């Protein structure tokens, strides 16, 4: 195929990944409507964006003290933390356990027994088994329906988890039962929270202007402090006490934006193809366009199509047609190499070779990097539009935003693209800052456990 013809084909196949500023502004309007729908009493049950109450009504005030255990389950790894909070300082010990694929898809009992086993090993290693019962904060990063801080019913698994008998169940109770079944550990599950809430708490502990948290990792999500008067579905006297706090942290679960067709005008054939091959087709469509679990596969789908059309790799589709083989971390590696460009692409060649792609020209490497850039830029811009929607909605003159997640942390340009686009999309009188929050899930869970203990103490006085 002639070079010019190849270029034309390339542009034609990839053009739908570009979203202009008007497109992003349209997304902001649609997302704001979805937020309102999710918060109103009459429409909440049929909303695409769940807007889940977290029962966290205040950010840490610095008086939190004590020793806590914290768990973080929700991505590829399961983490356990022992946190000591003394005089505004946190000392953290932690361990990471990999959740084997078969455990992710086993029965709920097996999954929670595995978690309890890891906790027991950690506690033994740190000499914590003999102490009195330790309060535990559980960061469980899936959409849950809560009716208080210490109980959370899983609405639906995402991110490759599928353990049976957990959906609709209270995960705090499943954890308590698994710990009791073992009989060798003494923990008190006092709070269950989403990773966004944990990140918000951890960032607010550092900077009390923090009122929003965003995660862009295996999945994506955000939470923010919303005025109670805008949460029509919360009931006075049942969900909140009158006259105490006037806000509640709302876990948006924005990953499912688009599930009611709101993004159909924007989704490409490739997004559809990626979605169809997942374990939950038609669900979490915004998440599937933006998060680590799916970005690599989206790139692969485009590369495969371009190869079939004769634009790449001499038309040899072997290797590139194997589902799931192009990992999201390759996007970062390939783009980093392209940015440092000295005209050679050893890393890109190595990645493609591992996948079984043999016939690779220098121009192919440049095109692969261009596709990676298109797809990661689209993700950053979509997350920017969603974040700008919250900033605009809150209307505070200044707000700090805690951000975490592997895509945000490790992709070479994601954080810059996100920041630049948010500034472009919000009114100039609204100011914000993005704060990188590392390990917020563990520290935040300990903080919420501390707040829960403090509230209980007050209650008993």
Catalytic residue among 72, 159, 170, 421: 159
252 is an interface residue for ligand GLC by CB under 6 A: no
74 is an interface residue for ligand GLC by CB under 6 A: yes
Taking CB under 6 A as the binding criterion, the range among 94-102, 177-185, 216-224, 321-329 that sits at the site for ligand GLC is: 216-224
Residue that is written with structure tokens 């919250």 in the block: 390
376 is an interface residue for ligand GLC by CB under 6 A: no
Compare residues 167 and 188 and give the one whose CB is closer to ligand GLC: 167
255 is an interface residue for ligand GLC by CB under 6 A: yes
Question: Is 259 known to be catalytic?
Answer: no
275 is an interface residue for ligand GLC by CB under 6 A: no
Q: In terms of Cα–Cα distance, which of 29, 30, 33, 123 is closest to 70?
A: 123
| Per-position x/- string for 100-139, each x denoting binding to ligand GLC as judged by CB under 6 A, each - no binding | ----------------------------------------
DSSP code of residue 281: T
For the CB of residue 72, give the shortest distance to ligand GLC in the complex, in Å: 10
Taking CB under 6 A as the binding criterion, the range among 7-15, 107-115, 219-227, 320-328 that sits at the site for ligand GLC is: 219-227
Taking CB under 6 A as the binding criterion, the range among 160-168, 211-219, 264-272, 348-356 that sits at the site for ligand GLC is: 211-219
Catalytic residue among 72, 195, 404, 419: 195
Distance CA 60, CA 443 (A): 12
For the CB of residue 197, give the shortest distance to ligand GLC in the complex, in Å: 9
Selected from 57, 146, 194, 199, the binder of ligand GLC by CB under 6 A is 194
Helices (H), 79-227: 101-104, 108-125, 171-182, 195-206
For the CB of residue 259, give the shortest distance to ligand GLC in the complex, in Å: 12
Distance CA 415, CA 437 (A): 13
Residues 356-375 that bind ligand GLC (CB under 6 A): none
Selected from 50, 287, 289, 331, the binder of ligand GLC by CB under 6 A is 287
For the CB of residue 360, give the shortest distance to ligand GLC in the complex, in Å: 34
Compare residues 196 and 211 and give the one whose CB is closer to ligand GLC: 196
219 is an interface residue for ligand GLC by CB under 6 A: yes
The two tokens of residue 139 are: 């960061």
Mapped onto helix, strand or coil, the DSSP state of residue 443 is helix
161 is an interface residue for ligand GLC by CB under 6 A: no
Q: In terms of Cα–Cα distance, which of 208, 198, 142, 135 is closest to 170?
A: 142
- Classify the phi-psi angles of 25: left when phi > 0, otherwise alpha if psi is within -120 to 50, otherwise beta: alpha
445 is an interface residue for ligand GLC by CB under 6 A: no
Q: What does the longest C-alpha to C-alpha distance in the chain come to?
A: 81
Residues of the chain by 3-state class (helix, strand, coil), percent to 5 = 45, 20, 35
- Classify the phi-psi angles of 435: left when phi > 0, otherwise alpha if psi is within -120 to 50, otherwise beta: beta
DSSP code of residue 169: S
For the CB of residue 276, give the shortest distance to ligand GLC in the complex, in Å: 19
Helices (H), 395-439: 406-410, 414-425
142 is an interface residue for ligand GLC by CB under 6 A: yes
196 is an interface residue for ligand GLC by CB under 6 A: yes
Compare residues 158 and 373 and give the one whose CB is closer to ligand GLC: 158
80 is an interface residue for ligand GLC by CB under 6 A: no
> Cα(first)–Cα(last) distance of the chain, in Å?
80
Selected from 14, 54, 57, 158, the binder of ligand GLC by CB under 6 A is 158
Number of residues that bind ligand GLC (CB under 6 A): 17
Question: Is 195 known to be catalytic?
Answer: yes
440 is an interface residue for ligand GLC by CB under 6 A: no
Taking CB under 6 A as the binding criterion, the range among 116-124, 190-198, 355-363, 414-422 that sits at the site for ligand GLC is: 190-198
Contacts for 369 with CB less than 8 Å, ≥ 6 apart: 334, 335, 337, 338, 345, 348
Contacts for 217 with CB less than 8 Å, ≥ 6 apart: 75, 291, 292, 404, 405, 406, 407, 408
Report which residue's Cβ sits closest to ligand GLC. Answer: 219
The two tokens of residue 182 are: 């073992």
Question: For the stretch 87-125, what's the b/e string if a residue is b when 16 or more beta carbons lie within 10 angstroms of its beta carbon?
Answer: eeebeeeeeebebeeebbbbebbbbbbbbbebbbebbee
- Whether 193 contacts 55, CB under 8 Å: no
Interaction site with ligand GLC (CB under 6 A): 74, 141-143, 158-159, 194-196, 215, 217, 219-221, 253, 255, 287
Active site residues: 159, 195
């Amino acid at each position: 195929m002639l070079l010019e013809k190849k270029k034309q084909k390339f542009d034609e196949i990839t053009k739908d990944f570009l979203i202009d500023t008007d497109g992003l502004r349209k997304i902001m309007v649609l997302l704001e409507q979805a937020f309102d729908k999710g918060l109103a009493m009459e429409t909440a049950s049929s909303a695409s964006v769940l807007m889940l109450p977290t029962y966290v009504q205040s950010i840490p005030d610095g008086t939190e003290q004590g020793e806590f255990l914290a768990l973080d389950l929700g991505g590829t790894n399961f983490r356990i933390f022992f946190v000591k909070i003394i005089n505004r300082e946190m000392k953290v010990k932690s361990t990471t356990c990999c959740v084997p694929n078969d455990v992710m898809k086993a029965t709920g009992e097996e999954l929670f027994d595995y978690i309890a086993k890891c906790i027991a090993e950690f506690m033994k290693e740190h000499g914590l088994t003999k102490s009195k019962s330790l309060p535990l904060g559980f960061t469980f990063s899936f959409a849950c329906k809560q009716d208080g801080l210490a109980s959370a019913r899983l609405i639906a698994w995402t991110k490759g988890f599928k353990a049976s008998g957990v959906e609709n169940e209270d995960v705090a109770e499943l954890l308590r039962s698994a710990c009791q079944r073992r009989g060798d550990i003494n923990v008190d599950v006092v709070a269950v929270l989403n990773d966004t809430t944990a990140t918000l708490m951890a960032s607010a502990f550092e900077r009390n202007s923090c009122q929003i948290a965003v995660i862009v990792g295996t999945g994506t999500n955000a939470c923010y402090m919303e005025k109670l008067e805008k949460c029509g579905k919360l009931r006075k006297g049942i969900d909140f006490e009158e006259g105490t706090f006037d806000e509640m942290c709302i876990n948006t679960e924005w990953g499912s934006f688009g599930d009611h067709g709101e993004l159909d005008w924007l989704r490409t054939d490739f997004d559809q193809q990626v979605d169809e091959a997942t374990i939950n087709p038609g669900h979490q469509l915004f998440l599937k366009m933006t998060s680590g679990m799916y970005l690599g596969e989206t790139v692969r789908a485009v590369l495969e199509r371009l190869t079939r059309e004769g634009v790449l790799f001499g038309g040899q589709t072997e290797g590139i047609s194997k589902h799931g083989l192009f990992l999201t971390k390759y996007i970062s590696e390939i783009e980093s190499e392209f940015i440092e460009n000295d005209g050679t692409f050893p890393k890109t060649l190595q990645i493609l070779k591992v996948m079984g792609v043999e016939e690779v020209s220098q121009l192919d490497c440049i095109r692969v990097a261009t596709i990676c850039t298109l797809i990661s830029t689209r993700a950053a811009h979509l997350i920017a539009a969603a974040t700008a929607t919250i900033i605009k909605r809150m209307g505070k003159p200044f707000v700090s935003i805690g951000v975490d997640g592997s895509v945000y942390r490790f992709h070479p340009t994601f954080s810059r693209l996100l920041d630049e686009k948010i500034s472009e999309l919000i009114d100039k009188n609204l100011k914000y800052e993005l704060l990188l929050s590392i390990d917020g899930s563990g520290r935040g869970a300990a903080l919420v456990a501390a707040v829960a203990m403090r509230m209980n103490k007050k209650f008993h006085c």
